[in-house]
Every structure is written in C-alpha cells, then in structure tokens.
C-alpha cells in the first residue's frame, strides 16, 4: 500500500492563529502517530525519512510558537511507538531517547555554539566531539548483571520496549558474558541491530523463492528478523550489532565517550571502526563529507553521522531537552537522487477505494538500489502542486516521457521530486487523471479539501471488496456471529462470498453445492448450523445498521442513525437518494431531495455528497436491491409525535443569536419537525433572525407564519 497524503498549501507558522495551530497540531500528531506505528510496529513505513522529518519539524515549529498547545501525548514528547503485541513488555531503567537532527553545516555550528553557551565555555575551550556513523537499523538495549546478559529489549516508545532476549541470544556480535576486569555490576549496553546489504539481498531472494515476506530495505529486514516469535527464524537470519551507548551503568569504566567505546570493544562488543574523535566543527564536517563519499562501500546502510560531546562530565551537565540529549546530534545525509525517464503512470486502487498514481520509470540505480517505480501520491502531486510532507515540487506538472529526478532517502518508496523541463518531449501531453476507477469502472470522485480521488463503487469494486465485506459484518453493522474478518477473507478467496447479498444466499447455495461448508477445515456440522442460524437472525435488521453497513464514506454510526431517523424506512431513504442522485451530473445539485438531505441537522455537505455519489452508481443500487430481496429492514424509531412542531416544516433564516443554525436544526428535528432550506407553500413556520432577506419576504407573500427566535423557543417549550 502506498501512502495516502493530503495536499494542502501550508500556512507560514508565523501566520497561524492559535485556533489554526491547534487544529494543525492535532492533524500532525495523528499523521505522525500513524507513521510511527507503521515504522516501529509493522516495519512497513510508507513515507520517506525526509517526509517524516518534515512533519515533525513543522509540529515542533508550531509548538515552539504556541508552547501552551503542547500536550503530554504530543509526538514531540514521545519517542517511537508503544511496543507491539506478542512480546512481553520491558521497562527501560533509563529511557531510550532519540536524537535531534542537523540537516546542514549551519545546524552543526549552531549545535556546538549552543553547547558552549550552555556550559559557559570560554573562547579557547572547544569541546571535542566523537563522530560515529549513524547506523540505519533498530536500537536495542542489553542488560548485563554481573557480566551476564539477562535481558534484551527493543526501544518501543522509549520507556517500554519488547522483550527480545531469546532472539538476541542468537546474534553472534552480542556477547552472552562480558569480558575483561572492569565489569559494572549493572550495565545496560545499547546499540544498533542491522543487516549487511548483501545479506539483505540474499535473504530477500530466498524469501521470494519461498513466496515469503520480501523486505523493503535492510532496516526492515533486520527489524522483521529480530522480532520473530519463532527464535529459530531469528537464528537463521544474518543479524549484526554495533554498540555505541549505554543506559543504566552502576559505575562508568571511562570518563569520555571514546574511552567508553574502547571499553565496549574490550568487553566483547563490536564498535564501529569508522568512529573518530574530532577536535572541532571543521573536523567533524570533514569526517561527514568523507564518510558520505564512502557510504556505498561500507556494506551497510547509514543515514548520517552522530556527533557526541566526548567528555562525559559535560554530557552529564548538558543533559536532555524533551526527547533528545543536548550533547549529541544526528547530522543527516541528503536524500540520494538520480535522473531517469517517466515511462508511464499507473493507477492503483487501495482497499478504501483511494486511487493512487504510481510512476513507471526507466530503471535507474539510486544509492545502490534499482528503482523502477515511485509513488506519485495523488493528482495534485502530478500537477506539481502537492507538498504536505512530500518533497515540495515546483509547480511543474509531470508528463509521460519526461526526464525526472528520483529520490530515495534511506527509504522504502522512492519519490519523483522534479522534472527537467528542458528535456520535455515536444509532444508530451498533460496527464489526465482518470475520473473512473480502473478496477471496476465506477465514477471516482474527489472531495473538497481532499487530495485523494476515490472510487465510488463501494459495493462492487473488487479492490475494495473484502474490506467492505468485513465492514458489512462488523459489530455496528450486521454483526454476524461466527463471520469475522478471517472467515470473510477465506470465503472471498474461495468465491463463496463476493458481495454482501452472497452472505444471505450462502445456505441456499451450500445446499445445492457438492463441496459443502462443513467439509472445510475448521468447520463441522454444528459450526455450520450455528453460522447459518446467526446469518438468519440478522435477516431482520435495523435501518441504521444497514445504512452503516453499506460502507459509504463518512457515514459512520452517528450519521447512519441520523439518516435512518430522518427517512424512517429503507424505501423512503432509497427513493430520496435516487432522486438526489439525479442532480449529481449538474454543477450544483439543486434537486429537492438533495436539499432535504443536506438540511438534516448534523449532516453536512461532505456527507450528503458521499451518500448521493453512492446512489449515483447504478451498480451500487443494483447490489442494494439484491440485498433487500434477502433481508427485511425494520423502520427506524420515530421521534416523539407529541411535540407541537412534529411533522411541521420549518425554515430558519437571517442571523440567529440564540442558537446556531446547526443547533436549531438538531433541536427541531429531535422534536419531529422537518427543516427545509427554502420557503414554499409547504412551509409551516419561518423563524427569522436579524437581517432576514428574501426568505422572509417570500414567507410574507405566501402567508406563512413568521416567528422570532423567542417565539420559536416558546413554541417548542424551551
Ligand atoms: S546515540 C540518547 N549513536 O539513531 C541518544 N544512536 O535518531 C542515543 N543510531 O535511536 C542514541 N547510530 O537507533 C546513537 N552511533 C549512534 C547511532 C544511533 C544509529 C540510531 C539509534 C537512535 C537513533 C536516533
């Protein structure tokens, strides 16, 4: 699956209002958390490190401007992600924190200046720094007690990791017992588990032959290999380890970083041989460019250089700020780039119906890896106007035949970052993003403020089918006992259930079939009987459960209930939606049915459009019709009838001061009134606020009762 990314022009942080900042921080936090989970728990990141860093930087910049908006659960206050299920949890005696980033030489100079200011060092005191290659693997904490390895844990969220002791004991670079004389009673050694690039390629080859998981890069491969429930699998994987720091240490065997590394080497660890003690900024920058040139020959992936203050007493004084030490920084390498030809653009349809464009490239080597595909994120990205976490493009659109710059940043999915316009073929045409789904042919629509175009064939698109079916049987929808995600997947693959109606015809078909359900592995006579009974029990279903079960975008449980209550019966709902769907072809949907839908309190335009788009696809309607032949839909519970405004049609107009328009609608509807958007002969009351205009005039012309806000409140008894 390729990352979905929203495209929006970002407002300058300095210009954000407090409210905008709050909303954006929430959005960034959600996005960062999702990436964290994919990276740390699933070993399957979907954005480049650079794109991820950009999100974090923006979050931190906004938090720096509005410190009062920093929440305790902000990603800036956390490291990594909480441990995944399946491994026991381990509390780290000393938190495993992260490093701040430097992207340019200036950031490094600023880092050293900050240290000198903090320590109040005079002009001739220049802190020596240890430069260490930044290994692109996963960090590990190894606890030794009286010299024996007792526990190994992953970083997890920095405070709690996963217990991978048994797995770690299979790694040759990690000693089970420490060597030498100066062994602290309690000692937590930390470093990076990684895999050599050649080992990674070889492993992937074997995995592919065995039709097993193929890893995206050496880092994922190392993480996936370490976190195996079956330790013998870890043992068979060529994992390696570099030690570079420590957590709890009952006594320190040295008083400098380089002294500690020497001790680690003597104790039996592998310390990176490229590590260098540098005397000043010039020295570290030289080291950085040298190692940058040698990067491809190292045999393992590094994504930068870490600089650490050598003197440990200074490290202690410098301490930490939020999630990273003041005494260390990671100087990242720029993304690796190459030029190639864009041979084509394919559209992939994800499980939620998102249409994602993928660049088919003339194969090219970027940082030692052959790249022939790259994500194009979405429609705007092709037009050159998308950014938001993606590399910022320059307004030039992408055309098939273009010469493009491709980038990989220690990264899974390469990206197309720019077009070399001078090389554009004369006949190259702007790319036209499809407005139909390439998988099922349904209309594909894009919502306002959304970068993603989605297939509307919710019920019929094979690309979405299993997810939709899983949703259909889920707890808030049909909630069928014994029919969960696993069964749906299996039944789908075996052509037993391809659409929702198939669930209800399963028994009939099974009776006729020669290969019976009860002969399937894991099934018996009783379980099949129970399954059929559970399905039958759901043949009579509440309207809101059916509406929710259709899987219409934006129609969650709450909206499904609002719709059910408003329309009352499936017949009404279906008829009204079909009438509203007639207006989807026009620039603006002016059908009365659409206006009515849009006027339901709590149902906004986005939801209304999504529902109507669903009904505008004839095959969805057909699928629903088939389903309705198999089930009976109970009418929705109606609001209480006794209110003075039940069944009355009300129009609110002008600026209301006692309540908002949405509140007014919600209350009126709760009392059984219908709220309309325009005044007609059918209108019973017009509630007019200040500056009411044409609707008020029309009400007077038609002789409709006009109420003030207070009169309305009196009428409804509030
Ligand atoms: S020191 C408190 N040294 O980079 C700081 N980290 O971005 C402890 N890493 O979580 C980290 N090589 O997984 C340190 N020579 C090195 C490193 C290194 C790779 C990783 C480590 C850390 C991450 C921070």
Residue 270 pLDDT level (bands cut at 50, 70, 90): very high
Whether 322 lines ligand 1, by a CB cut-off of 6 Å, is no
Q: Which of 332, 351, 382 is the last residue of a domain?
A: 332
Cβ atoms of 477 and 548 closer than 8 Å: yes
The answer to whether position 3 is within a domain reads no
Atom of ligand 1 nearest to the CA of 137: 13
Average pLDDT score over the chain: 88
Residues 55 and 100 in one domain: no
Cβ atoms of 222 and 138 closer than 8 Å: yes
693 vs 145 pLDDT, higher one: 145
Whether 234 lines ligand 1, by a CB cut-off of 6 Å, is no
Residues 177 and 61 in one domain: no
Residues 316 and 344 in one domain: no
Cα dihedral 471→475→480→483 (10° resolution): 60
190: CA distance to ligand 1 center in Å? Answer: 9
Listed range (75-84, 603-612, 670-679) with the worst mean pLDDT = 75-84
Atom of ligand 1 nearest to the CA of 101: 7
Give nearest CA residue, ligand 1 atom 22: 98
Q: What does the alpha-carbon distance between residue 568 and residue 550 come to, in Å, rounded to a whole number?
A: 17
Listed range (204-218, 284-298, 428-442, 498-512) with the worst mean pLDDT = 204-218
Whether 303 lines ligand 1, by a CB cut-off of 6 Å, is no
Residue 283 pLDDT level (bands cut at 50, 70, 90): very high
Whether 98 lines ligand 1, by a CB cut-off of 6 Å, is yes
Give nearest CA residue, ligand 1 atom 10: 98
Residues 527 and 625 in one domain: no
Q: What does the alpha-carbon distance between residue 318 and residue 329 come to, in Å, rounded to a whole number?
A: 13
Q: Which residues contact 431 (CB under 8 A, 6 or more apart)?
A: 345, 382, 397, 398, 399, 400
Whether 328 lines ligand 1, by a CB cut-off of 6 Å, is yes
Cβ atoms of 378 and 388 closer than 8 Å: no
Mutate to test the pocket of ligand 1, among 245, 284, 309 (most ligand atoms within 8 A of CB): 245
Atom of ligand 1 nearest to the CA of 134: 12
Whether 99 lines ligand 1, by a CB cut-off of 6 Å, is yes
Q: What is the pLDDT of residue 311?
A: 97
Tell me the percentage of the chain whose pLDDT exceeds 90.
53
601: CA distance to ligand 1 center in Å? Answer: 52
Q: What does the alpha-carbon distance between residue 349 and residue 455 come to, in Å, rounded to a whole number?
A: 8
Residue 390 pLDDT level (bands cut at 50, 70, 90): very low
100: CA distance to ligand 1 center in Å? Answer: 10
Domain CATH for 479: 1.10.150.20
Whether 291 lines ligand 1, by a CB cut-off of 6 Å, is no
Domain CATH for 178: 3.30.470.30
Atom of ligand 1 nearest to the CA of 96: 2
The answer to whether position 639 is within a domain reads no
The answer to whether position 5 is within a domain reads no
Q: What does the alpha-carbon distance between residue 412 and residue 410 come to, in Å, rounded to a whole number?
A: 7
**Mean pLDDT calculated for residue range 444-459:** 85
Cβ atoms of 385 and 7 closer than 8 Å: yes
Whether 325 lines ligand 1, by a CB cut-off of 6 Å, is yes
30: CA distance to ligand 1 center in Å? Answer: 24
Whether 132 lines ligand 1, by a CB cut-off of 6 Å, is yes
| Cα–Cα nearest to 244, from 181, 191, 180, 194 | 191
| Dihedral angle sign, alpha carbons of residues 523, 529, 533, 536 | positive
Q: Which residues contact 210 (CB under 8 A, 6 or more apart)?
A: none
**What's the number of CA atoms in the CB half-sphere (13 Å) around residue 553?**
25
The answer to whether position 413 is within a domain reads yes
286: CA distance to ligand 1 center in Å? Answer: 20
Q: Check pLDDT > 50 for residue 651.
A: yes
> Containing domain of residue 449, as a range?
335-455
Domain CATH for 433: 2.40.50.140
Residues 267 and 187 in one domain: yes
Q: Which of 332, 352, 374 is the last residue of a domain?
A: 332
Whether 134 lines ligand 1, by a CB cut-off of 6 Å, is yes
The answer to whether position 414 is within a domain reads yes
217 vs 151, 301, 617, CA distance in Å?
27, 9, 41
Give nearest CA residue, ligand 1 atom 2: 97
The answer to whether position 643 is within a domain reads no
Listed range (119-123, 246-250, 400-404) with the worst mean pLDDT = 119-123
610 vs 90, 462, 554, 583, CA distance in Å?
46, 19, 7, 13
The answer to whether position 176 is within a domain reads yes
Q: Which of 608, 634, 660 is the last residue of a domain?
A: 634
Give nearest CA residue, ligand 1 atom 17: 134
- Report DSSP state, residue 423: G
Atom of ligand 1 nearest to the CA of 80: 10
Helix, strand, coil shares of the chain as percentages rounded to 5? 40, 20, 40
Identify the H or E element spanning 620. Answer: helix 618-630
Q: Check pLDDT > 50 for residue 4.
A: no
Atom of ligand 1 nearest to the CA of 136: 19
Whether 102 lines ligand 1, by a CB cut-off of 6 Å, is no
Listed range (79-93, 236-250, 421-435, 465-479) with the worst mean pLDDT = 79-93
99: CA distance to ligand 1 center in Å? Answer: 7
| Cα–Cα nearest to 353, from 443, 413, 414, 433 | 443
Q: What does the alpha-carbon distance between residue 668 and residue 578 come to, in Å, rounded to a whole number?
A: 26
Describe the crossing of helices 618-630 and 570-581 by its angle, rounded to 10 degrees. Answer: 170
Cβ atoms of 584 and 610 closer than 8 Å: no
Whether 131 lines ligand 1, by a CB cut-off of 6 Å, is no
Q: What is the pLDDT of residue 459?
A: 76
* Model confidence, pTM: 0.50
Query: What pLDDT digit, counting tens, does each position of 465-491 carry?
Result: 888 899 999 989 999 999 998 899 899
Atom of ligand 1 nearest to the CA of 330: 7
Cβ atoms of 112 and 152 closer than 8 Å: no
Q: What does the alpha-carbon distance between residue 649 and residue 683 come to, in Å, rounded to a whole number?
A: 5
Whether 306 lines ligand 1, by a CB cut-off of 6 Å, is yes
Catalytic residues: 134
Residue 410 pLDDT level (bands cut at 50, 70, 90): low
Residues 305 and 171 in one domain: yes
98: CA distance to ligand 1 center in Å? Answer: 7
Q: Which 3 state secondary structure label does DSSP give 523?
A: coil
Q: Check pLDDT > 70 for residue 328.
A: yes
Tokens found for residue 24: 């954006």
Whether 221 lines ligand 1, by a CB cut-off of 6 Å, is no
Q: What is the pLDDT of residue 190?
A: 98
Whether 192 lines ligand 1, by a CB cut-off of 6 Å, is yes
Residues 386 and 423 in one domain: yes
Tell me the percentage of the chain whose pLDDT exceeds 70.
94
Residues 309 and 367 in one domain: no
Residue 411 pLDDT level (bands cut at 50, 70, 90): very low
465: CA distance to ligand 1 center in Å? Answer: 43
**Mean pLDDT calculated for residue range 443-448:** 87
125: CA distance to ligand 1 center in Å? Answer: 26
Displacement of CA 307 from its chain's centroid (Å): 32
Q: What does the alpha-carbon distance between residue 460 and residue 699 come to, in Å, rounded to a whole number?
A: 46
Listed range (441-445, 457-461, 510-514) with the worst mean pLDDT = 457-461
76: CA distance to ligand 1 center in Å? Answer: 17
Query: What pLDDT digit, counting tens, does each position of 65-107 carry?
Result: 888 888 877 888 776 555 544 788 999 989 998 999 998 999 9
CB atoms within 10 A of CB 295: 18
The three-state DSSP-derived secondary structure of 352-386 is: CCEEEEEEEEEEEEECCEEEEEEECCCHHHHHCCC
Count of the separate structural domains present in the chain: 6
End-to-end Cα, the chain, rounded Å? 52
Helices (H), 254-377: 257-267, 281-294, 312-318
Q: Check pLDDT > 70 for residue 638.
A: no
Q: What is the pLDDT of residue 12?
A: 83
547 vs 242, 274, 501, 543, 562, CA distance in Å?
55, 62, 14, 6, 10
Query: What pLDDT digit, counting tens, does each position of 29-71 carry?
Result: 888 887 777 776 666 667 777 777 788 888 888 988 888 888 8
Degrees to nearest 5, angle at CA 255 with 252 and 256 = 120
CB atoms within 10 A of CB 175: 20
Residues 565 and 471 in one domain: no
Residues 473 and 349 in one domain: no
Mutate to test the pocket of ligand 1, among 240, 244, 274 (most ligand atoms within 8 A of CB): 244
Atom of ligand 1 nearest to the CA of 328: 5
Atom of ligand 1 nearest to the CA of 155: 10
Length of the chain: 718
Residues 224 and 318 in one domain: yes
Domain CATH for 55: 1.10.287.610
Residues 45 and 163 in one domain: no
Give nearest CA residue, ligand 1 atom 16: 134
Q: Check pLDDT > 70 for residue 134.
A: yes
**Mean pLDDT calculated for residue range 288-316:** 93
Q: Which 3 state secondary structure label does DSSP give 299?
A: coil
Residue 471 backbone dihedrals phi, psi, to 5 degrees: -65, -40
Q: What does the alpha-carbon distance between residue 672 and residue 693 come to, in Å, rounded to a whole number?
A: 26
**Mean pLDDT calculated for residue range 173-190:** 94
The answer to whether position 620 is within a domain reads yes
Whether 135 lines ligand 1, by a CB cut-off of 6 Å, is yes
């Amino acid at each position: 699956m390729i990352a979905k990314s929203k495209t929006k022009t970002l407002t300058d942080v300095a210009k954000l209002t407090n409210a905008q900042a709050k909303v954006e921080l929430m959005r960034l936090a959600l996005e960062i958390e999702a990436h964290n989970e994919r990276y740390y728990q699933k070993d399957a990141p979907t954005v480049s490190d650079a794109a991820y860093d950009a999100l974090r930087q923006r979050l931190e910049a906004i938090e720096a401007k509005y410190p009062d908006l920093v929440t305790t659960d902000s990603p800036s206050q956390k490291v990594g992600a909480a441990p995944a299920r399946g491994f026991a949890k381990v509390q780290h005696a000393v938190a495993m924190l992260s490093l701040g980033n430097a992207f340019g030489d200036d950031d490094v100079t600023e880092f050293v200046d900050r240290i000198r200011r903090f320590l109040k060092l005079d002009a001739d005191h220049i802190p020596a720094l240890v430069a260490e290659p930044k290994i692109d693997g996963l960090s590990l904490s190894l606890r030794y007690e009286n010299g024996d390895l007792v526990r190994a844990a992953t970083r997890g969220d920095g405070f709690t990791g996963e217990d991978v002791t048994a797995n770690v004991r299979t790694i040759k670079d990690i000693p089970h017992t420490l060597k030498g004389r100066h062994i602290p009673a309690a000692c937590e050694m930390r470093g990076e588990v990684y895999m050599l690039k050649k080992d990674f390629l070889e492993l992937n080859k074997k995995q592919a032959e065995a039709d097993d998981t193929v890893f995206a890069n050496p880092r994922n491969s190392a993480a996936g290999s370490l976190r195996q429930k079956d330790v013998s699998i870890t043992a068979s994987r060529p994992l390696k380890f570099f030690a570079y720091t420590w957590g709890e240490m009952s006594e320190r065997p040295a008083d400098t970083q380089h002294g500690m590394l020497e001790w680690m080497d003597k104790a039996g660890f592998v310390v990176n041989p490229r590590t260098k003690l540098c005397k000043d900024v010039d020295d570290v920058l030289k080291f950085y460019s040298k190692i940058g040139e040698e990067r491809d020959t190292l045999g393992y992936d590094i994504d930068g250089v870490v600089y650490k203050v050598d003197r440990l007493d200074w490290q202690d004084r410098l301490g930490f700020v939020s999630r990273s030490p003041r005494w260390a920084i990671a100087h990242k390498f720029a993304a690796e780039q190459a030029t190639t030809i864009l041979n084509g653009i394919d559209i992939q349809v994800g499980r939620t119906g998102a249409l994602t464009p993928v660049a088919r490239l003339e194969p090219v080597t970027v940082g030692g890896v052959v790249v022939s595909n790259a994500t194009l994120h979405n429609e705007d990205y092709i037009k050159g106007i998308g950014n938001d976490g993606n590399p910022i493009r320059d307004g030039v659109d992408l055309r098939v035949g273009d010469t493009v710059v491709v980038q990989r940043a220690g990264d899974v999915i390469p990206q197309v970052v720019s077009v070399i316009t001078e090389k554009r073929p004369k006949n190259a045409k702007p790319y036209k993003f499809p407005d139909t789904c390439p998988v099922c042919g349904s209309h594909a629509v894009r919502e306002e403020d959304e970068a993603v175009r989605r297939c509307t064939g919710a019920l019929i698109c094979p690309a979405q089918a299993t997810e939709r079916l899983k949703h259909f049987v889920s707890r808030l929808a049909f909630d069928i006992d014994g029919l969960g995600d696993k069964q749906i997947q299996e039944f789908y693959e075996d052509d037993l259930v391809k659409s929702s109606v198939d669930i209800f015809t399963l028994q009939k078909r099974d009776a006729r079939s020669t290969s019976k359900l009860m002969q399937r592995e894991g099934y018996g006579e009783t379980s099949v009987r129970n399954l059929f009974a559970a399905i039958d029990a759901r043949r009579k279903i509440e309207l809101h459960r059916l509406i929710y079960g259709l899987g219409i975008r934006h129609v969650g449980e709450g909206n499904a209930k609002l719709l059910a209550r408003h329309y009352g019966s499936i017949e009404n709902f279906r008829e009204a939606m079909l009438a509203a769907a007639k207006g989807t072809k026009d620039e603006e949907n002016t059908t009365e049915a659409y206006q009515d839908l849009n006027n339901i309190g709590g149902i906004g335009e986005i939801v209304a459009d999504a529902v109507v788009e669903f009904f505008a696809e004839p095959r969805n309607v057909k699928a629903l019709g088939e389903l309705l032949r198999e089930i009976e839909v109970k009418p929705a519970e109606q609001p209480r009838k006794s209110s003075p405004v039940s069944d009355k049609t009300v129009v609110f107009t002008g600026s209301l001061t006692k309540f908002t328009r949405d509140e007014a609608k919600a209350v009126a509807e709760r009392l059984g009134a219908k709220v309309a958007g325009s005044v007609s002969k059918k209108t019973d009351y017009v509630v007019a606020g200040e500056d009411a205009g044409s609707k008020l005039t029309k009400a007077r012309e038609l002789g409709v009762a006009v109420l003030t806000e207070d009169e309305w409140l009196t009428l409804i008894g509030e």
